[in-house]
Structure 1
Amino acid sequence: MNISMPELEQAINYWRLQRPAVGEECALSPEVNALADVYALMIINHSSSVALASMGSVAQQLIGAWRQTMLDVSTSNQSMG
């Protein structure tokens, strides 16, 4: 399974809201940092998508949690409407 650049951007933004930068230096949270590393490699390699299997386990888990949250929100919205 792959993740596209726009999906990765959405996942990063999700985790930025969940775990905002902290301190005077505005250091990225470990979650955002893990996904930012994947994002940087995609840019360097001119990739429009990347295989989840090629990422570290932390990034895979973060993307999985983000996707599950998006699925839960979608399912909840469908049941309300």
Structure 2
Amino acid sequence: MLFLSIQDLEAAINYWRGRSPASGEELHLCLEAAALAKPYALMIIQGAQRVPLDMLDVAAKSAIEKYQKLPK
């Protein structure tokens, strides 16, 4: 089973926020950052340092996969 660390999740959220900053009066996050924000928040509440990739929903998996394919 593959895992995603909280640090990697935070880096992906920051990447997507930098690429597409929050917008509107409500400061809506872009789709990718919003999809990753829920598992990130749950990890913080639970004190978890990693999450199994298969526990992410489709939108979060897609956002993290796109991020991981970027040249580093």
Normalised by the size of structure 2, how large is the TM-score? 0.90
2:34 maps to which residue? 33
1:6 maps to which residue? 7
* Unaligned segments of structure 2, at least 5 residues: none
Q: What root-mean-square deviation, in Å, do the aligned CA atoms of Structure 1 and Structure 2 show?
A: 1.0
- CA apart distance, 1:45: 1.3
TM alignment of 1:1-81, pairs within 5 A: 1-69=2-70, 72-73=71-72
Normalised by the size of structure 1, how large is the TM-score? 0.81
More helix by share: 1
Q: Is the 8 A contact 1:19 1:31 kept in 2?
A: no
* Count, aligned residues: 71
* Unaligned segments of structure 1, at least 5 residues: 74-81
User: Using CA pairs below 8 Å that are at least 6 residues apart, which structure has the higher relative contact order?
Assistant: 2
- The one-letter code matched in structure 2 to 1:16 is R
Q: Quick one: distance in 1 between partners of 2:31 and 2:65?
A: 16
Q: Is the 8 A contact 1:42 1:50 kept in 2?
A: yes
Which runs of 4 or more aligned residues in structure 1 lie more than 6 Å from their structure 2 counterparts after TM superposition? Answer: none
Percent identity between matched residues is 41
